[in-house]
Each structure stands twice: as C-alpha cells, then as structure tokens.
Structure 1
Amino acid sequence: MIKAEVKSFQRGLRITSNMADMDSFVLQYSSDDFVPQTTRWGDHAGKKSKFDRELTSRWDNCMENGVFRYNMQQLDTRVIPGDKAYVAQLNSLRATERRKPQTIMSVSQPFNPDLFNFTKVHTKEILFGLQNTDESTTSGATMNGTTDSAQEPERHIIIINVSPLEYGHVLIVPQVNRCYPQVLTETAVKVGLESMLLSSHRGFRIGFNSLCAYASVNHLHMHAYYLEQQLLVEHCDVEPLGPNVHELTVMPCHGFAFQLHGTTVKQIARLIHNITMYFHDNDIAHNLFITRGTVFGEPQSSTNRTIRMYLWPRKKFIGTKVPDEFNVAVVELAGHLPIKDDSSFQSLTEETADHIIADASLPLEEYNQIKTTVVKMAKQLDTKTQ
C-alpha cells in the first residue's frame, strides 16, 4: 500500500507546480535549538524562538494578504467557572467557512490521491519546511517503522490552516511526499515533539485527530496553534500505569498520559507510535494532544516544566449528529472549546461541557481492555530498551 501511495504522489509532481516551491524556505534546526523549559503562566512570557518568529511573521503576512478564508480577529474568550476551567472561545466563522470534511468510514481508510490533500495546496499557503540537521536527510521510514532507502528524501512542511481556530493555527505535514493517510508514523510523532521543543511559547499546542475522530482530510497532518490561556491538562494529576505511561482521569473522557521528562524524544515517539498503530489495526479512533506543562507529580507553581502528551481512545465519529455547542476533537478533549454560536458561548456551563465530552468516551469495559493492552505494550518496549 505504501509504495502505491508514493507513486501517486510522484505522478502529482509532474502536474502540480505547487510542490516545486515547497522547499523555497527550509527552517534547519538541531537539538541546540530546542527550548527545554518555558516560563510559567503569570511570569514574563520571554523571547520568541526562531521557530516562533518565522511561523508568526509568515502567518501574519498571509493574514494581511487575504490568504485565509476569513479574517482572524481576537476571539471572545471566557474561562467557564468550575474545577476544569474550560477555555471557551467564540469562533462561528470556522464552523461555517471551513472546507467540507471528507467522508471517512474507517480509521484505516486508504489515502486517495484524487481527493484534496496537502500536495495540492497553493504555494502561498506554505510557510516553510523543517529539517533536523542532526539526522540524515534521506531517511525513508515507513508507517510500520521499517526503512526504504530507495525512497526520496523526506519533506516536512508547515502550512497555514485556511480556516483557523486560533492565532497562528497551522498544519504540520510530516513526510508530505509519502502521501500517507491520516495515520501517525513514528517520524510524525517525532516531528511533532521537535516542533514543540523549537517553540519557546508556553501556550503552543499540537494536536492530531485520527480518522473517525474528526480528522477532515485523509493525509497525514497535525494541527498547531498558540493559545494565551492555561489549560488544566498542563498541571493536573495523572495516575501511573506502567513504564512511561500514566492515565488521565480528571477529564470527562479518560485517556493515557506521557511526558518527555525522564525519557527521550525517540523513546516516547516510539511508544506512542506503537500504541497508535495498535489503535489503527483495531479500528479504534483516537486523538493526541501535545503541550507544555509541569513534570508529573509537581505542583502547578513548579518551574520544572516538560512536554506532556495525552492520547485518548474514543468513540468513532461517522456522520452522527454533532452537539450544537462544539465538536469533540483533540483540543476539546484537552479543555479548549471553540464554540459555534454566541448563545452557546454565553450560556455554556462546566456541567454541559462535561456531558458533551463524556459522550465521546468508550464503554468502560472496552476502555479497560485497551488500557490492559497499552500497559503491556509499554512494559514490553521498556524491556527491549534496557
């Protein structure tokens, strides 16, 4: 399947001039550019990193030149009273102006080169490419982790989301020339973690929606944006389950929690990839959220910060009725609620938000079976790396 997808992309190269300019600007970086710590909320924000400067300046230029589907003004924002401190934002234009989602019937639905994908975006939507100079530029890692040395050098690009949900909303498109479906590869998880490390902004967020979990385009990509509000998942308690894996239970939809502290990008990317491939193979819809936050077990006021990752197995969404207030995709599971209309924005309570989000949860028996498997996988991988 992978080879067929690569051939589809190569045919597109001959007819799509957009792709020729994808590498017009490549942001090269190494581990020396990583920002291991960010400031706490309430402290001075600090300087923008090179990654943040390039992303925001180019994003602003696209906004000024009308590249987006609508003008992104400062969004009305309210923190909903309650223990979870949900961050609600009124964004009615995204609900009405965004591209119609593709029809998705399965978590493992193949890539279709005839449908819209990110090789077809206009060159003015491409902000820059990403290249880690610590590594070979000819890596050919495939979805299952094997290597195909015959493949061309990989390209990772940052493009604008033409229907933004917040300031700086972009799509990270790893391995764009592979034309993978919306299935996380180990490389994709790694690119997401490295992008987070390149940002010095404490409110930079990255999210992934699998197919049947509100992904609207079946081409591998992650969302990233800036949010000037703290979320509960940045500092909440989590319960240890096994090596490098914890459980998130304070939110209405339970899931798995990971942190970079005490491990490496490579190790945690491999663990998350192995789990999501298990989800993929068993048709389990899922969402992944990456954010800055405190080290597990430390208080909200701690200056010892790390990268937190949350992975939710959840009910499949296949054309069922959606709530009037908000959809339950990755940012909503993390406590950021883009609201569709003013009435819902003004009246939404924590109780209502809890109810909507909880409806995405799997039945307890099914979730517990998944949890048992995830813990077993974490133990097996930990044994192999020792």
Structure 2
Amino acid sequence: MFKYNDDNFIFDVSWTSISTHSKFDELFKKTWIEKEEKNLFRYKYKSQNVVRLPGKYQFIKVLNIDRATKRRTPASFHKVLQPFDDSLFNFTKINHEEYLFKLESPYNSCENSSDDILAINSSPLGDFHSLILPKISSKLPQSINNYSLHLSLQILLLSASPAMRIGYNSLCAYASVNHLHLHFYYLPYKMYLETCEVEYLSGSCYIIKDYPGKGFVFFLCSIDKILDLVRIF
C-alpha cells in the first residue's frame, strides 16, 4: 500500500531533471520491474521502436507488433455507455500478482481507498504502462466520473517526472474492457502540447489554438483548487 497526503504532491517538474524520482516513482518503478521479472507480462515492451516524426508537431510513432498480436482479445462494444457485465472479463478476474499496490490518502480514506488499485497492463504500449483501477470491487462501467478523475490527478501530482502521462479512452474509442480504468505510463519525450499556444475561455479553461485536433487545457496551480477542477467535469 502507498499512503500519501498533500505534502507528497509535486507541482514543479522539469525536463532538465528528467531523472528525478519521487517516493511514488521509486516504489512504482521498482514494483513494476519486479512484476516483469516474474514474467507477468505477455511480452516485453521495446522502447527502441519509438520514433519522433519530423515537422512542427513532433508526433511520436511507436511500432508495437506484440500488442497487436499477443494482447488479450478485446470485447466488442456497440455503445459508449453500457452496464457492467460480470460475465465478461473485468479486472477483478486478473491474477492478483498483476496488482502493483493499493492507494490510501485523506481524500478517499472515507470511501474505502483500499479499493483503489494500480495494476500492470500486461500488454504494455509504453514504458511502465499500468492501469489505475478506481473502486475496483464496485465494478463500475468504463465511464469516467469525478472520483476517478480526482484520483488520477492525485497520481499525476505524486510523480516528479514530466514524462508521466495519464489517459482515458471510452467504449467505442478502443477501450477493450467495460470496467472503469485509466492508463498511465512514462513517455520520455517532450510534446508540442506541453508548450503550445492557448486562448483563454473561462475560469481555469483554455482552448488549444494551433493543433490538428481541437481540445481544452485546464490549469491546476495549487492543491486547494483540485476539487474545483474536478467538479467542472
């Protein structure tokens, strides 16, 4: 179990100190490597297959044949919102050896934080690719909510690395399991979106001005604003 509070949150990270690790980074990477040594993954991710494309946006291209050929067969979904179906594969059915550790903090201790679990992604698509499993035994469908967003922001702030990335994809957007989860991994490349020009919209929300895809940017500058940011969604 990893216990944390406000004192563990890190707001200032830099690409000039990419090798800096927090207590969370150290425990997470150490435990992840131990799982790899136990052969709990379907394959070993090869970071040498990453290529930065030329051009203004400096996109990253990854060749990962193993994920296409060795991953668990994804379930088929026809709607973005579907009820949880216990007869299908879900994360309560994986080998518990794939769990990294549980999370506990003052934010969620009253809501059974021991049910918030980090687990390896047995078919990794990046360095240390893992899963955030909020309230795993509640068997929530793959639909992001305030609780899972709040938990994910906390995990992001626990890392001292600018390479930490957290992502979410819904059903019908390549999510392969209808059980609430988010992805996180370390991508050791500075991305265009980290410094792109934005236009103020309202509150803490800005609009990305120059990018092939439309999007919003939200600024979080202090821990006392985290709940306000989560409530926007």
Tell me the TM-score normalized by structure 2: 0.94
Structure 2: stretches of 5+ with no match in the other structure: none
Matched, 1:109 2:82: yes
Bigger CA drift: 93-102 or 219-228?
A: 93-102
Which SS does the other structure have where 2:61 is aligned?
A: strand
| 1:63–1:72 contact (8 Å) kept in structure 2 | no
Which SS does the other structure have where 2:183 is aligned?
A: strand
| 1:75–1:91 contact (8 Å) kept in structure 2 | no
- Which residue of structure 2 aligns with residue 137 of structure 1? 109
Question: 2: CA distance between counterparts of 1:154 and 1:49?
Answer: 21
| 2:51–2:61 contact (8 Å) kept in structure 1 | yes
- Which residue of structure 1 aligns with residue 138 of structure 2? 178
Which SS does the other structure have where 1:130 is aligned?
A: strand
- In the TM superposition, what whole-angstrom CA distance separates every residue of 1:57-115 from its partner, at most 9, and x where no partner exists? 11111111211001223332221111000011221111211112111111111110111
2:231 paired residue among 261, 265, 270: 270
- Which residue of structure 1 aligns with residue 171 of structure 2? 211
Question: 2: CA distance between counterparts of 1:72 and 1:178?
Answer: 31
Question: 1: CA distance between counterparts of 2:210 and 2:177?
Answer: 30
Give the residue type in structure 2 aligned to 1:85. Answer: Q
Bigger CA drift: 57-66 or 159-168?
A: 57-66
Distance 1:109 1:211, change over 3 A: same
| 1:203–1:226 contact (8 Å) kept in structure 2 | yes
Residue 130 of structure 1, CA deviation: 0.6
- In the TM superposition, what whole-angstrom CA distance separates every residue of 1:236-258 from its partner, at most 9, and x where no partner exists? 11222222222224222212221
Residue 178 of structure 1, CA deviation: 1.3
- Which residue of structure 2 aligns with residue 261 of structure 1? 221
Larger radius of gyration: 1
Structure 1: stretches of 5+ with no match in the other structure: 1-25, 140-151, 273-386
1:1-386 correspondence runs (5 A):
26-39=1-14, 41=15, 43-132=16-105, 134-135=106-107, 137-139=109-111, 155-261=115-221, 264-272=225-233
| 1:138–1:154 contact (8 Å) kept in structure 2 | no
Residue 153 of structure 1, CA deviation: 6.1
- In the TM superposition, what whole-angstrom CA distance separates every residue of 1:271-311 from its partner, at most 9, and x where no partner exists? 12xxxxxxxxxxxxxxxxxxxxxxxxxxxxxxxxxxxxxxx
Which SS does the other structure have where 2:110 is aligned?
A: coil
Which SS does the other structure have where 1:193 is aligned?
A: helix
| 1:69–1:162 contact (8 Å) kept in structure 2 | yes
Aligned length: 232
Percent pairwise identity: 36
Residue 122 of structure 1, CA deviation: 0.5
Question: 2: CA distance between counterparts of 1:215 and 1:81?
Answer: 29
Question: 1: CA distance between counterparts of 2:143 and 2:37?
Answer: 33
Which SS does the other structure have where 1:209 is aligned?
A: coil
Bigger CA drift: 255-264 or 76-85?
A: 255-264
Question: 2: CA distance between counterparts of 1:77 and 1:50?
Answer: 28
Which SS does the other structure have where 2:86 is aligned?
A: coil
- Which residue of structure 2 aligns with residue 382 of structure 1? none
Residue 221 of structure 1, CA deviation: 0.4
- Which residue of structure 2 aligns with residue 358 of structure 1? none
**Cα RMSD (Å):** 1.6
Residue 46 of structure 1, CA deviation: 4.5
| 2:50–2:61 contact (8 Å) kept in structure 1 | yes
Question: 2: CA distance between counterparts of 1:154 and 1:210?
Answer: 25
| 2:104–2:114 contact (8 Å) kept in structure 1 | no
Question: 2: CA distance between counterparts of 1:253 and 1:74?
Answer: 26
Question: 1: CA distance between counterparts of 2:172 and 2:134?
Answer: 20
